Amino acid sequence: MIRHRFLVLLILLSLLLVVHPIAIRVGTAHTLMRMLTASVFGVAMWNVFRSRRARALGLLLGIPVIAGRWMSLSNPSLADTWVPFAFNLATALFLGYCVVMILAAVYAESHLTREAIYGALCGFLLIGAAFGHLFYCLEWLVPEDYQVAATPTQMHNEREKEALYMYYSYAALTGMSDPEVSPRNEAGRSLVLAEAVLGQFYIIVVLSELISLRVSRVPARLEA
């Protein structure tokens, strides 16, 4: 595996999670968030997508993400149009593709390394981010699909709405209850349930398997 192939991506994703809620109120933090987002995209294109075909598909999925973000920032009036929905849907697809390619790279390696575990952790964080964008899309398609303990201003502010659903997504992914948001109908409940099950499956099967394999090889090396 390439040295620090997934460690850099894991650091960038962790920083993005920390900066994202702060960026709602602080302008400089928002600039940093945009820089981190661009860095995540660049690292994914270079380190995650290794073949020409993978990079071509990554660009095909990633260009709408960049275009949608740029259009939303340059013209805030687009918040009432289809652009935010298209941007969030494209972002969810791009992140989902990243997860698939990361897991394919991890399980394709003949020797388990720390980078494989870093890659699996990146996949877990990316799943949470992808579902956060899907929650936004569902709310756009079915208004008031989620009961939110937030002020009307928060729900009409695109940044705060995006941050709220991202927080809700990671709460569902990790099994943490969130009293601020609750689904009102079957579509919302199904999406939350799908993420919760996927999150537990990922922790139990993927992360536990990789960590146990990593730990089991330590005594073997010591005996040798």
Q: What is the pLDDT of residues 161-197, one digit of tens each?
A: 788 888 889 988 987 766 567 777 788 888 888 999 9
Residue 79 in any domain: the answer is yes
Question: Residue 146 belongs to what H/E stretch?
Answer: strand 146-148
Give me the domain span that covers residue 180.
7-218
- pLDDT averaged over every residue in the chain: 80
For residues 107 and 84, give the distance between their C-alpha atoms in angstroms, rounded to a whole number. 35
**Alpha carbon separation from 38 to 32, 43, 61, 182 (Å, rounded):** 10, 9, 14, 31
Residue 224 in any domain: the answer is no
With contact defined as beta carbons under 8 Å apart, do 199 and 176 qualify? no
State how beta strands 181-183 and 146-148 pair. Answer: antiparallel
The string of pLDDT tens digits covering residues 30-57 is 677 778 888 888 888 888 888 889 989 9
Look at the chain and report how many structural domains it folds into.
Answer: 1
Residue 109 in any domain: the answer is yes
Closest CA to 169 of 208, 124, 206: 124
